[in-house]
Structure formats: C-alpha cells, structure tokens
Structure 1
Amino acid sequence: MTSPVLYHASEGVATITLNRPEVLNALNADLLRELRAAVDRAADDASVRAVVLTGAGRGFSSGADLAARQNAGGEMADSGALLRERYHPLILKLREMPKPVISAVNGVAAGAGMSIALAADVVLAAKSASFLQAFSKIGLVPDAGSTYFVPRYAGEMRARALAILAEKIDAEEAQRIGLVWKVHADDALQAEAGKMAHHLASMPTFAYGLIKQALNASSGNDLAAQLELEASQQSLACRSEDFREGVAAFVGKRPPQFKGR
C-alpha cells in the first residue's frame, strides 16, 4: 500500500510530500497521522535544518476528505474534536519547530489544506496554484488556523471576504495580498523550493528558531514585552556558535560555516 505521506531527507533538508494525488491530497485520518509523524521526525532530527512541505500530483491539498468521513459513519463526526486531535498539534508543531518550513503549493490549496500551507514560515506557489477558503460553501467555519493566519497576512477585510464569499484566488492574487512570498513557473517550483531550503539549511538555523519564537509571540505582546523578548532572544543568539562563526567569517572575509547551534 502506498504511503499517504512521503519523507525524504538529504543534505540538511527534509521534504515531506502529501501523497494522495488521486483525490488532490484530501486530508483523511491516515494522511494526517503520517503527516504529524513526518513533521515530528523532521523536528527531532538534528541533521535536518530546513523543511519543505508539498503535494504530489496536481494539488497541494483539497482539504478535509469529506467523502471518507461521511462513508465512515453516516452522520458526520464532531469536527471540533477532530480538529483538536488531528490538526491542532500539527499546526502548532509547524509553527513552533525551531527550523524554517517552506510550503511549496503546487496546485489547489483549499480549506484545511490552505491552512496547512499557511502554517509554514515561507509560502511559495506555482503559477497555476490556487487558494480557497472553502468552509462556508458547506456551512462550516474556517479552521486549522485560517482565522489566525489570513487576517495577519492579508488584512482583516480580505480575510472576511475570503472566508464569507469563499471565492477562489489564483497564485498571483495570493501573492499580491500577502499570502504567498513568491510565485514560480509550475515546472520550476520544486527546484526553487529545494534551492531555498538548502540555502536556509546552510545558514544560522539556531537564530531561525529564536526568530520564529519571537514572531509567534509578537501578536500577543505589547511593545514593551516584545522589546524584552527580543533582548532575551538576542542574549541567547550572541552566545551561539553560529554567531561566533558569523563574526569570525565577516572579520576574516571568508564564507561562514554555520552548524545550527
């Protein structure tokens, strides 16, 4: 049986691929369980210093596999319980792991599939990719972090319109409103994502972990608290091997050799 999630690690980069292409990588229990395991594996592996998350076939993810849920038991299960059990730990792990995460959106990213894509630190998209807050079309509320990520990236008015109107937007519009960092040609997306990930893996990844912590905390802090957090994080960063190597390389006019510690 083909695994619903593929994992490959090489040269400091873990590539995690959603692998149900026949249903546009719709999210069922098996896929979510293996995706969480793959993310945990990347987080725990000290040799992995950057992560790429993408989808096999024509799509990133079409969102929750509603057909599978309906067929499994007639009446739909409690979605809130499923979110707490399957999605919330995954989203939090992607945001909190002290390594940069790139999502390479290669087609449709809808519903919770869009939420997972936006949980990455950097979102890249193929030119043919699309984004859809599909929830209201079936009488549901945006979940898996969409009501957190979309207002912060695109602004509240756009977040409200995307959630309520449930209109699909293309990659270039997603980039224009701040949901996507860069758009690449379809046949170049994976190479560009890999190139970025390998570059990040060679950089001072200890500092990246501190940067993620500071950014994650910023929305809940006032200015004074955030200034104090920055100072505390900087104290940690300046005691790192990466910082010493960065300064030595700058003074010695040579390329740095960062180790992520």
Structure 2
Amino acid sequence: MTAAVTRTGRVLRCVVSDAARHGTLDFDAVCAVTAALRALEPDVGAVLLAGEGAHFCTGADVGIFATAGADGADIRSSVRELAGELHDLVRALVEVPVPVVAAVRGWAAGAGMSLVLAADIAVAGASMGLRPAYSAIGLSPDGGLTWTLPRAVGAARARHILLTDRVLLAEEALAMGLVATVVPDDQVDTEALGLAQRLADGPTRALSRTKRLVRADGDLDAQLDAEADAIAESVTDAEGREGVAAFRERRAPRFVE
C-alpha cells in the first residue's frame, strides 16, 4: 500500500484502502489518517480522501470478522475496537476545520460508503457504486451510516437502502444528492484534486465556519444565532477584509499569499 498521508501543495491526500487487497480498509492507514487530521498542519486548506487502484474502498476485510478474537479475546470487544477506529476517522473527517473532498471510483461499499457520506463533497466516477453491504453478511452498519444517510436522503429512503442492501450507481447517487458530480472514471482524481486545490486556495476560515454551520444539528433559532456570530467573525478577519476589498476594487480576491 502507498503512503496513507501525502501532501500536494495545500491539499492533504489521504488513502485508507489497500489496492493490493481489492480496496479493503487498512486499519493502520485509518489510524494514520485520523492522527494527521487531528494534528492538521496550519497551511493545509483542504483534504482529499481517495482510493488506490480500481476502487475507493470496499469495506473491511470480512476475514477480520471471522478471525477476530481467535487469540482468546472476546469477539465483541475485538470488533468494537475496529469499529471505534473507523469511528474516530469519521469524527476527524467531520471535525477537521477544512473541506473534505472524496474522489470515488469503483466501489464504495460498507465502510467505504460511510466515508463517502462523511466527506463534504464527493466526486464520483461514472462506474461508481455505493452499497451498504452490511446486511449481505448478517451485520448492521457502522461508520455513521445510519446517521448520515437518513439526513441525506430522508428516513424512508434510507431504510429502503439499508434494509435491502440496495446498490446506488453514480447517476442515481447524483440525483439523490449523495455525490456532487459524476465524471469519467479516468478523470476522477484530476477533478477531485482540482476541486480540493480551489477550496484550499479559498477563504479557509470562512469555509471552516460554513462547514461547521452546515454540519450543525440544532433548531432554527440556534442556527440563526450561530450564523450571525460566524458572519460577524468573518467580516472582521483578514479573509473578510480582503474579499470585500476585492469586490469593491473589481478584482479577484487573494486569500492565500
């Protein structure tokens, strides 16, 4: 497997699946990416979550579940520990104060589908397939899928997808709003990296506030108060001053020196 975390300018590229094992989740990489997100370098402006090879991520190696606890440890404890590592990554993706772009080619199944929904924006290849995959092996979902999917498509549709293990191909996922755009498979990496670079060169603090606001789960009154606080902060920081000045001077803003 290639390095889990690499840099391309202001973009942090993260890979948690192993192409040599058909895109299965690599838990060493999961932990490495989580650590990098929690200790994000200050000059990182966006995260690119990608796969290697034909697939974004085909979920955890089913053999792990078959052999977990073989050393005498309780199987429930072993599986819960693995789920905890995945969930730490999901929390880190949601909490990291920069946009997360997912480059999704091939299958995003099981935990892979969960990671797509944890990203802020997903660029899909034309042959992409989203599949819960859990019920096919007698398991219930993890990775936050029972929380993110209903909020993305509605509770009734989420129940249908999860309970029937429904496969969503690229155009259907686009229609449901689960991915932002669909491009030819050989353009996924270029399109997603280009988007991540544009975001990284944007108003980082304003985008961070926007991400936090969109992810909030409170009532309207609380959201309105949070928006008022955020825009008041934005207008007085360097990004806001530059953006307003550029607008008045009819030029492109320069948010990153």
TM over 0.5: yes
Give the counterpart of 1:7 among 5, 8, 13: 5
TM-score by structure 2 length? 0.92
| Partner of residue 61, structure 2 | 65
How many angstroms does 1:35 deviate by? 2.6
Query: Could you report, residue by residue, the CA deviation over 1:20-79 in whole angstroms, capped at 9, with x for unpaired residues?
Result: 1122321243232223234335xx211110111110001111111221343354374433
Alignment RMSD (CA, Å): 1.8
| Partner of residue 164, structure 1 | 163
* Equivalent-residue separation in structure 2 for 1:228 and 1:177 (angstroms): 30
* Conserved? CA contact 1:16–1:38, under 8 Å: no
* Equivalent-residue separation in structure 2 for 1:125 and 1:132 (angstroms): 14
The number of equivalent residue pairs is 253
Q: Aligned in 2, Cα 1:119/1:158: closer, same or farther, shift over 3 Å?
A: same
Q: Does 1:250 align with 2:238?
A: no
* Equivalent-residue separation in structure 1 for 2:237 and 2:256 (angstroms): 10
| Partner of residue 80, structure 2 | 80
Q: Which structure 1 segments of 5+ residues have no match?
A: none
* Equivalent-residue separation in structure 2 for 1:118 and 1:179 (angstroms): 7
| Partner of residue 51, structure 1 | 47
* Equivalent-residue separation in structure 2 for 1:80 and 1:49 (angstroms): 33
How many angstroms does 1:183 deviate by? 0.6
* Equivalent-residue separation in structure 1 for 2:28 and 2:76 (angstroms): 16
Give SS of 1:80's match: helix
* Conserved? CA contact 2:31–2:89, under 8 Å: no
Correspondence 1:207-226 to 2 at 5 A? 207-217=206-216, 219=217, 221-226=218-223
TM-score by structure 1 length? 0.90
Give SS of 1:174's match: helix
Q: Which structure 2 segments of 5+ residues have no match?
A: none
Runs ≥4 in structure 1, deviation > 4 angstroms? none
Query: Could you report, residue by residue, the CA deviation over 1:189-220 in whole angstroms, capped at 9, with x for unpaired residues?
Result: 11111111111111111101111111121x2x
Correspondence 1:26-45 to 2 at 5 A? 26-41=24-39, 44-45=40-41
* Equivalent-residue separation in structure 1 for 2:22 and 2:106 (angstroms): 9
Identity %: 37
* Equivalent-residue separation in structure 2 for 1:176 and 1:234 (angstroms): 31
Give SS of 1:124's match: strand
